[in-house]
């Protein structure tokens, strides 16, 4: 088919469905979407609560546990040991399909019956890691999210195979990292995009460097400060002058590094030079991956985000995970070999195949509109059918979806071929990851027909405001672990944990004056939003697609010119 212009149902902006897109939709036997790519991404994220945690009781054993579901949710919530156990039968919770009613209305009713897992994790692989979510294979971790195979890591997001680190984002195969983004290195801090480096501070775009401070675009250098060489002795003496043991010294060093970085060219995208015919940002070892962000070893795909566990293939509008997933369309959190998945939220594990409009299905195949099932097949609204019955009823439901579509409060229409309606999200908008990329006020959220939850106010009395915190780590006593600190930025109460204080003393860095949430948002602000703009290389004037908006101050080079610059 030729390219086709459409108007998004949600934002009313025009978008293009290209001929290559139609080829994919034909291969998946689905129609083209009626929401634009950005609204589709936002819609999926509205089903993902990654960081907002609550204390509530398990509705099976009664134990007080950590959960992504607030206590007032209308459905039962089971703690991890209970949800994964054989103490209950998920087959007891089902709904008989009523052909006179829309399938999504019936899913709403089913959703209120079925027990939800308190946290999204591979529970049996966690050791001493309670306050975590969307994780697996962790040991001694605290407040980390979207993470796997980590040990002694705190306050982190999108981290893989990392040890003894905290306040990091998009890091893998690293150790002793602090306030870092996109790094696989050793003993580095306050840096962005380092590869195989050691003892690096306040630096960006370094490969194979050691003992560097405030540097940018260097390769294989040692003992450099702001891209100038020093002797080993001079380097050590100069570092002491920065007084990085103090909060005031640290803030000054950050400002100096930012001012220095901006004077040098930035590569048009973060990722691997080995990418083939791929666009986006933080794209690694990809082939024919267009408009993708934070993806690793993905092929023949488009509009995908957060595919951090390699690999994925033949996917469109796929957000989060990977690990062998293929043939996925407009779905969220799908992984571990899942295949042929359409319009689902949180389905995973080996054998996951042929799922449509499912939520929280594990080890399942050939299910339609099912919620919270394990090891089940040929089910619709959780009810068991024979294979022939299933295929016949599935076709009838799709026909009904197209003839009598679901319409939400704002007139948006859901026929077969769109992701789950907003109304089926178990979360309020401001509980979800969507608010990180599309920050909206309470009024704006409600005007869009979405839900808002008033944030829970912690009942803590701050005992040490930010202006009373010691400036130097050397003046911090162990008793600070008993203090309730006040965030300098938002005023929220927070605490230090023992592992955090131990690492700060090892690095000789001051205690933070911002709470974990504010630190996370500061790091997120240093990662470009997942949008692409048309620009030209500042050196050769060739056109390029980049996540750096035209009004940004950075000087942007295409891949070839950037390589020439740093050679």
Domain match, 512 and 538 both: no
Cα–Cα distance between 176 and 163 in angstroms, integer? Answer: 7
**pLDDT at position 309:** 92
Peptide bond preceding 311: is omega within 30 degrees of 0, i.e. cis? Answer: yes
Give ∠ CA 338-339-345 in degrees, rounded to 5. Answer: 60
**pLDDT at position 1:** 76
Domain match, 520 and 539 both: no
Residues in Cβ contact with 373 at an 8 Å cutoff, skipping those fewer than 6 apart = 90, 358, 360, 361, 362, 364, 367, 379, 382
User: Do residues 308 and 158 touch, judged by C-beta distance below 8 A?
Assistant: yes
Please identify every stretch of the chain with a pLDDT value under 50, giving residue numbers as ranges: none
Cα–Cα distance between 312 and 335 in angstroms, integer? Answer: 9
Domain match, 480 and 500 both: yes
**Is 493 inside any structural domain?**
yes
Instruction: Look at the block and give the residue holding tokens 């893989």.
Output: 160
Instruction: Look at the block and give the residue holding tokens 């007891």.
Output: 92
**pLDDT at position 77:** 99
Domain match, 470 and 520 both: yes
Domain count, the chain: 2
User: Do residues 259 and 270 touch, judged by C-beta distance below 8 A?
Assistant: no
Q: What is the CA radius of gyration of the chain?
A: 25
Output b/e per residue, 259-297; b: 16+ Cβ within 10 A: ebbeebbbbbbbbeeebeebbbbbbbbbebbbbbbbbbb
CA distances to 298, 360, 421, 543 from 338, in Å? 14, 13, 22, 37
**Is 343 inside any structural domain?**
no
**Is 521 inside any structural domain?**
yes
**Is 125 inside any structural domain?**
no
pLDDT in tens, 338-384: 999 999 999 999 899 999 999 999 999 999 999 999 999 999 999 99
**pLDDT at position 117:** 98
**By three-state DSSP, how is residue 134 classified?**
strand
Domain match, 518 and 497 both: yes
Report the chain's terminal Cα–Cα distance, integer Å: 44
**Is 548 inside any structural domain?**
yes
**Is 476 inside any structural domain?**
yes
Domain match, 519 and 537 both: no
- In this structure, which long-range contacts are made by residues 305-312, counting pairs with CB atoms below 8 Å and at least 24 apart in sequence? 305/41, 305/530, 306/146, 306/158, 308/146, 308/158, 308/160, 308/170, 308/172, 309/148, 309/160, 309/335, 310/285
User: Do residues 133 and 53 touch, judged by C-beta distance below 8 A?
Assistant: yes
**Is 52 inside any structural domain?**
no
Supply the range of the domain harboring residue 500.
Answer: 466-525
Domain match, 521 and 539 both: no
**pLDDT at position 350:** 87
Residues in Cβ contact with 251 at an 8 Å cutoff, skipping those fewer than 6 apart = none
Cα–Cα distance between 74 and 50 in angstroms, integer? Answer: 20
Cα–Cα distance between 349 and 372 in angstroms, integer? Answer: 14
**pLDDT at position 567:** 80
**Is 479 inside any structural domain?**
yes
Domain match, 473 and 521 both: yes
């Amino acid at each position: 088919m030729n390219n086709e212009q459409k108007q998004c149902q949600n934002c009313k902006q025009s978008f293009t469905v290209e001929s290559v897109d139609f080829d994919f939709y034909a291969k998946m036997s689905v129609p083209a979407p009626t929401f634009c790519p950005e609204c589709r991404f936002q819609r999926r994220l509205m089903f993902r609560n990654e960081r907002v945690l609550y204390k509530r009781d398990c509705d099976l054993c009664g134990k007080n546990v950590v959960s992504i579901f607030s206590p007032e949710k209308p459905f039962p919530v089971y703690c991890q040991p209970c949800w994964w156990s054989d103490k209950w039968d998920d087959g007891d919770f089902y709904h008989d399909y009523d052909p006179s009613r829309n399938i999504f209305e019936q899913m709403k009713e089913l959703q209120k019956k079925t027990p939800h897992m308190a946290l999204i994790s591979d529970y049996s692989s966690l050791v001493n890691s309670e306050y975590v979510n969307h994780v697996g294979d962790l040991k001694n971790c605290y407040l980390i999210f979207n993470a796997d195979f980590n040990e002694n890591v705190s306050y982190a997001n999108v981290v893989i195979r990392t040890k003894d680190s905290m306040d990091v984002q998009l890091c893998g195969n690293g150790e002793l990292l602090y306030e870092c983004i996109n790094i696989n290195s050793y003993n580095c801090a306050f840096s962005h995009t380092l590869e195989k480096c050691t003892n690096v501070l306040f630096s960006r775009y370094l490969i194979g460097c050691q003992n560097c401070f405030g540097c940018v675009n260097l390769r294989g250098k040692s003992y450099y400060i702001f891209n100038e060489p020093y002797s080993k002795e001079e380097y050590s003496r100069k570092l002491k002058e920065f007084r990085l043991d103090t909060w005031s010294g640290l803030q000054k060093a950050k400002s100096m590094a930012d001012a220095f970085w901006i004077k040098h060219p930035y590569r048009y995208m973060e990722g691997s030079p080995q990418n083939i015919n791929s666009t986006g940002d933080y794209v690694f070892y990809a082939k024919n991956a267009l408009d993708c962000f934070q993806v690793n070893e993905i092929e023949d795909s488009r509009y995908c985000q957060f595919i951090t566990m390699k690999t994925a293939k033949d996917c469109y509008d796929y957000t989060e995970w990977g690990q062998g997933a293929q043939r996925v369309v407009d779905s969220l959190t799908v992984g571990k070999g899942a295949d042929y998945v359409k319009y689902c939220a949180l389905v995973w594990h080996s054998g996951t195949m042929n799922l449509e409009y499912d939520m929280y299905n594990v080890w399942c195949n050939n299910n339609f509109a099912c919620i919270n099932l394990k090891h089940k097949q040929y089910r619709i609204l959780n009810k068991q059918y024979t294979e022939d019955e299933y295929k016949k009823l599935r076709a009838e439901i799709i026909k009904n979806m197209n003839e009598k579509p679901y319409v939400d409060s704002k007139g948006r229409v859901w026929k077969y071929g769109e992701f789950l309606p907003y109304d089926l999200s178990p979360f309020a908008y401001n509980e979800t990851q969507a608010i990180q990329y599309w920050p909206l006020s309470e009024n704006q959220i409600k005007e869009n027909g979405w839900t808002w939850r008033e944030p829970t106010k912690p009942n803590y009395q701050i005992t040490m405001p930010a202006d009373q915190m010691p400036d130097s780590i050397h003046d911090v006593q162990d008793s600070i672990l008993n203090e309730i600190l006040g965030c300098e930025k938002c005023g929220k109460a927070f605490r230090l944990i023992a592992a955090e204080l131990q690492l700060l003393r090892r690095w000789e860095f001051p205690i933070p004056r911002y709470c974990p949430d504010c630190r996370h948002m500061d790091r997120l602000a240093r990662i470009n939003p997942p949008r692409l703009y048309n620009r030209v290389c500042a050196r050769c004037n060739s056109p390029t697609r980049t996540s750096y908006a035209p009004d940004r101050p950075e000087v942007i080079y295409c891949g070839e010119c950037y390589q020439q610059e740093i050679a």
